[in-house]
Amino acid sequence: MSHEQACPRCRTHNLLAVLSLPDTWTNASGNQARVISDVPLCARCDADDPFAGPVVTYFAVHGSAQPETAPHLARCLLRWIEHARPPKPDRNVLNAEAEAWYCGDL
């Protein structure tokens, strides 16, 4: 379990993992750009998610990966990975960050 990086959604230190997925974006010129998008797995934000929740529950019960339960953890992780999708950007947040950058606040 990682305590170094905060969850980008709730800002708590409940981040369990970060999955990096290939993605494509269309830029302002209409061209496709290949990017890597991070999908966080947070004990607080994802506990009720049907695909991420079992991983959260595993770490709540076991604390860390255990050799005797590795097959179960692997199944839970694979199910989460199969259904994980890169988050879509929030235009309001992007616009606020751009405005802050133009104003010299970033």
Interatomic CA distance for residues 51 and 76, integer angstroms: 8
Report the chain's C-alpha Rg in angstroms.
17
Q: How confident is the model at residue 2 (pLDDT cuts 50, 70, 90)?
A: very low
- In the prediction, which pLDDT does 1 show? 46
> Which pTM does this prediction carry?
0.72
Interatomic CA distance for residues 24 and 37, integer angstroms: 9
On the question of pLDDT at 47 being above 90, the answer is yes
Interatomic CA distance for residues 17 and 8, integer angstroms: 12
Contact (Cβ atoms closer than 8 angstroms) between residue 87 and residue 37: yes
- In the prediction, which pLDDT does 12 show? 93
Residue 55 CB contacts under 8 Å (≥ 6 apart), including other chains: 16, 17, 41, 46, 73, 76, 77, 80
Interatomic CA distance for residues 98 and 92, integer angstroms: 10
On the question of pLDDT at 13 being above 60, the answer is yes
CA end-to-end span of the chain: 30
- In the prediction, which pLDDT does 92 show? 82
- In the prediction, which pLDDT does 82 show? 95
Would you kindly state where each structural domain of the chain is located, as residue ranges? 15-102
Q: How confident is the model at residue 59 (pLDDT cuts 50, 70, 90)?
A: very high
Q: How confident is the model at residue 89 (pLDDT cuts 50, 70, 90)?
A: confident
